[in-house]
């Protein structure tokens, strides 16, 4: 059986067996982190620390999105009305799905950076 990337793997990151995996994974993680992370050498030097920290940032953004969704009607409704609130809810729902997908991708990349490997199955 050959080594492969698992379902849900980010499409722009090569599989863990690829020679450029670590470098590309670091760039992808930095693309999904606050821009200030690029200024901290520790994240490039120790990619697992970057994956760990990005996972927490993504989870925080997901939780913030959920909280915003839960309170949007009550908080925004009196000021902006029904239609804008419905648009905000759709945007937050879209972002929630995107962030949940990103969280899964970051978790998989973190596992691979820590040494986990997957094999293709029939």
Encode pLDDT of 63-82 as tens digits: 999 999 999 999 999 999 99
For 7-47, write each residue's pLDDT tens digit. 999 999 999 999 999 999 999 999 999 999 999 999 999 99
pLDDT (average), residues 46-59: 98
**What separation in angstroms does the CA of 8 have from each of 32, 43, 109?**
16, 24, 10
pLDDT number for residue 2? 57
pTM of this structure: 0.91
pLDDT number for residue 120? 80
Query: How buried is 83 (Cβ within 10 angstroms: 0-12 exposed, 13-18 middle, 19+ buried)?
Result: exposed
Residue 78 CB contacts under 8 Å (≥ 6 apart), including other chains: none
pLDDT number for residue 1? 45
For 77-115, write each residue's pLDDT tens digit. 999 999 999 999 999 999 999 999 999 999 999 999 999
Q: Which residue has the tokens 């992808």?
A: 28
Q: Give the other-Cβ count within 10 Å of 40's Cβ.
A: 14
């Amino acid at each position: 059986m050959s080594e492969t990337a698992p379902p849900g793997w980010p499409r722009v990151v090569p599989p863990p067996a690829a020679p450029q995996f670590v470098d590309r994974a670091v760039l992808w993680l930095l693309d999904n982190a606050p821009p200030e992370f690029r200024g901290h050498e520790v994240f490039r030097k120790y990619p697992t620390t970057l994956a760990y920290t990005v996972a927490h940032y993504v989870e925080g953004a997901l939780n913030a999105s959920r909280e915003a969704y839960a309170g949007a009607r009550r908080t925004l409704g009196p000021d902006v009305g029904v239609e804008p609130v419905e648009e905000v809810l759709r945007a937050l729902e879209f972002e929630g799905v995107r962030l949940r997908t990103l969280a899964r991708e970051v978790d998989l990349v973190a596992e691979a950076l820590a040494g986990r490997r997957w094999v293709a199955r029939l």
